[in-house]
């Protein structure tokens, strides 16, 4: 029996030295060290021998088993630390390059306007892109079937209301948020509303179905045309430089009265006339006017007490002028070569 124990020990150590992975290690454990392993059999056999021999052999068996257990643990440890080594990270290797994103040119212009207007005490408002017909048109003094609706080709969404009319429209302008903000905050109110708008355009280098505007609204006591003019002058100088001049020419917008187009001296030719300003020296930049009393009323503001001004910039056009971009469709193209320039 003594030799048997020795043999198991030798055999075990020999096999242990050849272990390559955890699976082999587990097999070895089963074969020798588990309750059904070879060693347990020996221990069982002890009950058939004399007391003295049992004592001697028992001691021997325990020492040998202890020794096997220790060696076994050693191998298990070294296997584990080997596995850990393969997770080792070489910090001296060159890293994976993480590309920086670029801020979209429309966002750049939007940020610039937001900075300017917040510094003038305006808050920044927001409204839904999928808008009700009421907010987008009716509340802005453009009732159903009114010819002024033709000014903006519109995407109606197929879902009819109780009156059997299409009630939902992708907003064609940020102006509906004028009404929403007046209803929410009342007067006095100073806000700009940057946002995405949609029109059913046949797209070309100057027309796009999805584009951005920044709306402005200022409601209070005695807000007048002089306020509008000075505000638009400040914006022009900020956008196009200190020498920029503003001229205002009458233009019809249903929600303002009087309404006008704000034009700035062409920054490219300094007003002399060039291709970009179509040789007029002026750039049409902003629609504006004093808010129509009906619109104030729709916003829950009493036109007998308050008056207001409103204006709307096309952000894409501003970005096109500022960065010399010749095709409006580039903005939505997702073209990396275009976007990486900003």
β-strand pairing of 189-198 with 123-124: parallel
75 or 151, CB closer to ligand PHE? 151
Asked if residues 235 and 215 have their Cβ atoms less than 8 Å apart, the reply is: no
Instruction: Kindly list the strands in the beta sheet with 210-220, ordered across the sheet, starting from the edge strand earlier in the chain.
Output: 123-124, 189-198, 210-220, 307-314, 282-291, 256-265, 246-250
State the DSSP string of 301-319.
--TTT-EEEEEEEEHHHHH
Q: How far is the CB of 334 from ligand PHE (least distance, A)?
A: 25
Q: Residue 328 in 3-state DSSP?
A: helix
Among the residues of 120-215, which ranges form H helices?
A: 133-136, 176-185
Alpha helices in the chain (DSSP H): 2-17, 22-28, 38-45, 51-85, 105-119, 133-136, 176-185, 225-240, 293-298, 315-323, 336-339
Contact between 103 and 154 under an 8 Å Cβ cutoff? The reply is: no
Q: How far is the CB of 175 from ligand PHE (least distance, A)?
A: 4
Min dist CB 289 to ligand PHE, Å, is: 5
Q: Which is nearer to ligand PHE, 287 or 299 (CB)?
A: 287
How deeply is 80 buried, as exposed, middle or buried, from its count of CB atoms within 10 A (0-12, 13-18, 19+)? exposed
Tally of residues, the chain: 342
Under the binding rule (CB under 6 A), the answer on residue 311 touching ligand PHE is yes
Distance separating alpha carbons of residues 90 and 282, to the nearest angstrom: 61
Site for ligand PHE in 242-261 (CB under 6 A): 253, 256, 259
One of 110, 175, 210, 316 touching ligand PHE (CB under 6 A):
175
- Least separation in angstroms between residue 248's CB and ligand PHE is 12
Work out how close the CB of 178 gets to ligand PHE at its nearest, in angstroms, rounded to a whole number: 8
- Residues 195-224, mask of contacts with ligand PHE (x by CB under 6 A): --------------------x---------
For ligand PHE, the binding residues in 270-309 under the rule CB under 6 A are 287-289
Nearer residue to ligand PHE within complex by CB, 198 or 267? 198
Query: Token digits for 12?
Result: 């075990």
Work out how close the CB of 209 gets to ligand PHE at its nearest, in angstroms, rounded to a whole number: 14
Q: Which residues 107-146 are close enough to bind ligand PHE by CB under 6 A?
A: none
Q: How far is the CB of 119 from ligand PHE (least distance, A)?
A: 21
- Nearer Cβ to ligand PHE (262/271): 262
The verdict on 262 binding ligand PHE (CB under 6 A) reads: no
Nearest-approach distance from CB 131 to ligand PHE, in angstroms:
12
Cβ(277)–Cβ(176) below 8 Å? no
Choice between 38 and 257, CB closer to ligand PHE = 257
Nearer to ligand PHE, 236 or 259 (CB): 259
Kindly list the residues in this chain that would bind ligand PHE in the complex (CB under 6 A): 173, 175, 215, 253, 256, 259, 287-289, 310-312
């Amino acid at each position: 029996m003594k030799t048997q124990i020795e043999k198991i020990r030798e055999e075990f150590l020999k096999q242990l030295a050849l272990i390559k992975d955890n699976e082999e290690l587990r097999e070895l454990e089963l074969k020798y060290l588990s309750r059904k392993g070879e060693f347990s059999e020996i221990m069982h056999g002890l009950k058939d021998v004399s007391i003295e021999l049992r004592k001697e052999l028992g001691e021997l068996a325990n020492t040998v088993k202890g020794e096997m257990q220790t060696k076994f643990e050693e191998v298990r440890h070294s296997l584990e630390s080997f596995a850990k080594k393969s997770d080792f990270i070489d910090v001296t290797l060159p890293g994976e390059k993480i590309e920086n994103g670029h801020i979209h040119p429309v966002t750049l212009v939007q940020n610039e306007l937001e900075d300017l207007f917040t510094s003038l005490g305006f808050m920044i408002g927001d409204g839904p892109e999928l808008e009700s017909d009421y907010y987008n048109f009716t509340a802005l003094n453009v009732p159903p079937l009114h010819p002024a609706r033709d000014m903006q080709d519109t995407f109606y969404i197929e879902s009819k209301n109780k009156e059997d009319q299409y009630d939902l429209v992708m907003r064609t302008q940020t102006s509906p948020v004028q009404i929403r903000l007046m209803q929410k905050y009342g007067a006095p109110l100073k806000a700009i509303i940057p946002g995405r708008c949609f029109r059913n355009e046949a797209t070309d280098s100057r027309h796009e179905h999805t584009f951005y505007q920044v709306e402005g609204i200022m409601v209070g006591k005695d807000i007048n045309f002089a306020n509008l003019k000075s505000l638009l002058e400040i914006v022009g100088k900020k956008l196009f430089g200190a020498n920029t001049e503003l001229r205002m020419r009458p233009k019809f917008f249903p929600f303002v009265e009087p309404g006008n187009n704000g034009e700035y001296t062409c920054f490219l030719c300094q007003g002399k006339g060039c291709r970009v300003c179509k040789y007029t020296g002026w750039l049409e930049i902003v629609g504006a006017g004093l808010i129509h009393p009906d619109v104030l009323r729709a916003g829950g503001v009493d036109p007998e007490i308050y008056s207001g001004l409103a204006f709307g910039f096309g952000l894409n056009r501003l970005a096109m002028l500022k960065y010399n971009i010749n095709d409006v469709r580039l903005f939505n193209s997702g073209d990396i070569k275009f976007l990486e320039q900003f």
